[in-house]
Amino acid sequence: MCDLSDGTTDLPEVRMRCDGLFLAGLAHRLPDAVDVDGAVAGGRYDPADRRADAYVSVTVAAAEAPPEMAAAAARSALGRARARPSDVALLLHASAWFQGVDYWPAASYVHREVLGDAGRHAPALDVQQMCAGAMGALELAASYLAADASRASALVTTADRFADPGFDRWRGDVRGIVYGDGAAAALIGRTGFARLLSVATVADTALEGMYRGDEPFAPAPGRTVDVRSRRDAFAPVAKRLAGGVAGRTASGLSEAVGRALDEAGLKLGDVARFVFPNVGLHVLRTRYAEPLGLDVERTTWDWGRRTGHVGAADQLTGLTHLVETGEVAPGDRVLLVGIGAGFAWTCAAAEITEIPDWAA
């Protein structure tokens, strides 16, 4: 079972120690990558940002919509796990941005495409926690399975496409983040190739306004996303926050990582690889790796610099890459670190127990 426990902390926090739950299948669906130098030459990507970020390319979806990519990844994850659609007791679909149609549940599309009538008794739910959405969905899926031993497995999908004119992948967010498109899926079950050891979430909604700024609530969607101006508008509020934005974000990260490790009975040195969001190299070093005392080489940076920040999919695509390429072995522990605007940090620890036959 998964033990849920509350700790005493300044930030709301949920911890889970998971027993008997595994990652049974993993897959991603990534479109072709586009070299970032073309965006620099075209004036869309600042050369100084390019040097600091060290991205090589980003994945760009020309035709497939996010739910279509999610369904493809989900079918692959099910196939790799040798699971039947009827085995899935819950489907959760996470996203950070527009899924292709307004006033419409993308999770239901993925459910119909992947599970169909075999999933008649499996709820299909959309999860909105921005770029921590897939990790939050992983926590919810594990809790759902822990609540009823008759539930065989749960499917988590995530997908996004950051397309013009609504989202400028090169400058829509703060410096240090360039967005790629794609999808990923994970099947959580009672058996698998990686044991789920723990999941921990820390929330700090005092930072919610950082991605809202002073924009009024609109009656309908349609405005271009401009996170930089929103953060500028939030600056006066940030100055009044105890600890400041930098202090609170660093605290949230370290607390979530610490909680996940504690629940798994691990220390940082016990973890072979870390999968962070695919932010630029300077941000990865200064905001993630160095505060935790980590070398970038222990992360999946060499993978992430080729895809860009794929919304909520980075952790699942990164872990899929590690397994597919043989960069992890039985006994290796991996820590997945998710951060989403709002703000929330969700971390999950897993231990590789075997190399699946779909890995290289």
Check whether 4 has a pLDDT greater than 80: no
The Cα–Cα gap between 70 and 225 comes to 23
pLDDT digits (tens, 9 = 90+) for 157-172: 999 999 999 999 999 9
Q: Give the pLDDT score at 207.
A: 85
The Cα–Cα gap between 194 and 198 comes to 12
CATH 3.30.428.10 fits 1-349, yes or no: no
pLDDT band at 237 (very low <50, low <70, confident <90, very high): confident
pLDDT digits (tens, 9 = 90+) for 160-218: 999 999 999 999 988 999 999 999 999 999 999 999 999 999 998 888 888 888 889 98
Q: Give the pLDDT score at 208.
A: 87
pLDDT digits (tens, 9 = 90+) for 134-143: 999 999 999 9
Radius of gyration of the chain (CA): 19
Contact criterion met (CB below 8 Å) for 160 and 312: yes
3-state secondary structure of 17: strand
Q: Give the pLDDT score at 248.
A: 80
pLDDT digits (tens, 9 = 90+) for 64-114: 999 999 999 999 999 999 999 999 999 999 999 999 999 999 999 999 999
Q: Give the pLDDT score at 5.
A: 40
